[in-house]
Structures are given as structure tokens and as C-alpha cells.
């Protein structure tokens, strides 16, 4: 640590600590707590003393330097719960020569979650296929959680229940057989 000429070491350390405490709350993210960010800001403040310009107030210099470096720190270390380390994902996206493997994509999500989403998709596709056209408008309201009269909601839920329990398919087949006769 190089103390700038004309400044006392205690004053410099106290100023760095005070500036780090002032700025730390702005950069709390993921699993980093305020104390972690304060420590990081303190280290940044100690490193930047070599470039200190005597014409500027020390606190202003430290604040702007810590602010910029903590922005970079947050960007480089931000952890997205659903996609892992953002920087690694971005690097993989940039690499056209090395496409993502299916194993990597599945590793981003819990396998049970992927299977459950596949089942939900199959169920929604089945409902879309079997639902009578007269009920589609009300069904779209139900899916978007818009207002729907209780009776209409109950009718749609009953038809969906029938579709999912294959009763609706059996009734359609019986109706087609009766029409053929």
C-alpha cells in the first residue's frame, strides 16, 4: 500500500473504510452480503491509491473508483439462479464452433422440473386438441386468469376434467359412430 504524499496512513484507511461502507449497500447481490462488498471495496480502495490525483479530494476519488470497480465486480460475479454463472453462459453463447450439448442444457434445470414441464405441455396440447371451439374464448380467459363467470368456469373445468380422464374422447367416438349409422 502506497500512502499518497502529504496524507496520514490512519486518515487514508479511515476514509477508505467510510467510503466502502457508504457504497456497499448499492452492490449487494446474490449471496454477497454488505460486509462482503465492503471488504471488496476496501481492497479496491487500497489498490487505487497508487493512481490518486492530489488535486482531487480523496473521498471523491475513492468513491468514483470504487463505484466503477464494484459495477464490474457485480457484472462479472453475478449468479443467476436459473442459468448458472452469467459470464460462463455468455462465453458459451459466443462460441459458435462449440454448440451447447443437451446434457449441458439439462444440467441447467432440475431433471424433474424438465420432465414436469414436458408433461404440462402434453396436457395443454391435449386440451387444445380436444376442447370444443365454443369454449375456446372462455378457456383463454381461464388460462390468463381473467374474470370468468363461476358457471362458465365450472363448465370449462368439467370439460377439461373429462378430456384429461379420457371421457370426452370416448363420448366423441360414440357420437361419430352414431353419425355413421
Cα distance from N-terminal residue to C-terminal residue, the chain = 96
> What gap in Å lies between CA 7 and CA 4, rounded to an integer?
6
Residue 134 in 3-state DSSP?
helix
How would you write the pLDDT of the chain (181 residues) with one tens digit per residue?
678 878 889 999 999 999 999 999 888 887 788 899 999 999 999 999 988 888 889 999 999 999 999 998 888 776 554 455 566 666 655 554 454 454 555 555 555 555 566 677 777 888 888 888 898 888 888 777 778 888 888 888 888 888 878 754 444 455 555 455 4
Q: What is the pLDDT of residue 23?
A: 93
For 36, the enclosing helix (H) or strand (E) is: helix 34-48
Q: What is the pLDDT of residue 121?
A: 76
Residues 6+ apart with CB under 8 A from 150: none
Q: How far is CA 144 from CA 71, 127, 129, 137, in A?
A: 38, 15, 18, 11
Which pTM does this prediction carry? Answer: 0.44
Instruction: Locate 57 and state its grid cell.
Output: 479530494
Do residues 95 and 128 make contact, with C-beta atoms less than 8 angstroms apart? no
For 61-70, the CB contacts below 8 A with 24+ separation are 62/15, 62/16, 62/19, 63/19, 63/22, 63/23, 66/19, 66/20, 66/23, 66/41, 67/23, 69/44, 70/23, 70/26, 70/27, 70/37, 70/40, 70/41, 70/44
Amino acid at each position: 500500500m502506497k500512502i499518497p504524499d502529504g496524507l496520514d496512513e490512519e486518515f487514508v484507511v479511515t476514509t477508505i473504510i467510510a467510503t466502502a461502507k457508504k457504497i456497499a449497500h448499492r452492490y449487494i447481490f446474490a449471496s454477497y452480503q454488505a460486509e462482503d462488498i465492503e471488504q471488496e471495496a476496501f481492497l479496491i480502495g487500497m489498490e487505487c491509491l497508487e493512481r490518486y490525483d492530489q488535486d482531487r479530494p480523496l473521498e471523491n476519488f475513492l468513491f468514483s473508483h470504487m463505484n466503477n470497480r464494484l459495477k464490474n465486480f457485480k457484472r462479472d460475479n453475478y449468479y443467476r439462479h436459473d442459468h448458472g454463472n452469467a459470464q460462463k453462459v455468455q462465453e458459451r453463447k459466443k462460441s459458435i464452433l462449440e454448440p451447447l450439448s443437451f446434457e449441458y442444457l439439462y444440467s441447467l434445470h432440475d431433471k424433474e422440473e424438465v420432465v414436469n414441464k414436458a408433461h404440462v405441455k402434453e396436457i395443454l396440447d391435449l386440451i387444445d386438441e380436444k376442447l370444443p371451439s365454443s369454449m375456446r374464448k372462455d378457456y383463454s380467459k381461464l388460462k390468463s386468469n381473467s374474470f370468468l363467470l363461476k358457471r362458465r368456469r365450472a363448465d370449462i373445468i368439467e370439460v377439461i376434467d373429462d378430456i384429461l380422464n379420457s371421457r370426452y374422447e370416448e363420448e366423441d367416438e360414440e357420437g361419430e359412430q352414431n353419425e355413421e349409422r
